[in-house]
Amino acid sequence: MSFRAVLLSLCLLLAAGSVRADGDAAAGAQVFRKCGACHSATEAENRVGPSLMGILGRPVATVPDYNYSSAMASFGEDGKLWDEGRLSDYLLSPKSMVPGTKMTFAGLRKPTDIVNLIAYLKSTVVGK
């Protein structure tokens, strides 16, 4: 992991401590507007990107009927799961974490946006 990625992750962790531990799902819904053109979070519908409904705890690159880049498929080959830490790191800089991913989004710069977005994604899980 590069020094920049370690430093950004550390900043994210420190800033997350100043935010409600679980984040703010309503604020996260606003952040999700940046993602909504390519992803769905409330339906098992793939768009340009895979559905993010139920992403937390899901193995990487396993949404049915979605054609992942070879980079993302390789990244998930060893059974990695999308937990909060991994998703936080990815949202900070997708191309740094998975070089060659077809996701064009540069990432979220504000740690509070990442924490809130994850809170929103947790809130969209069916049965919660």
Looking at this protein, which amino acid is placed at residue 49? G
Kindly give, in sequence order, each residue whose CB lies less than 8 Å from that of residue 75, ignoring residues fewer than 6 positions away.
60, 61, 97, 98, 101
Q: What is the pTM of this model?
A: 0.81
What pLDDT does 21 receive?
57
pLDDT in tens, 9-29: 555 555 444 444 589 999 999
- Asked whether residue 39 carries a pLDDT value surpassing 60, the answer given is yes
Report all structural domains of the chain as residue ranges with CATH numbers, in order of start: 25-124 (1.10.760.10)
Whether residue 5 is predicted with pLDDT greater than 70 in this model: the reply is no
With beta carbons less than 8 A apart as the criterion, state whether 29 and 120 touch.
yes
* C-alpha angle 127-44-124 in degrees, rounded to nearest 5: 40
Is the Cβ–Cβ distance between 70 and 100 less than 8 Å?
yes
- In this predicted structure, the answer to whether residue 89 has a pLDDT above a threshold of 70 is yes
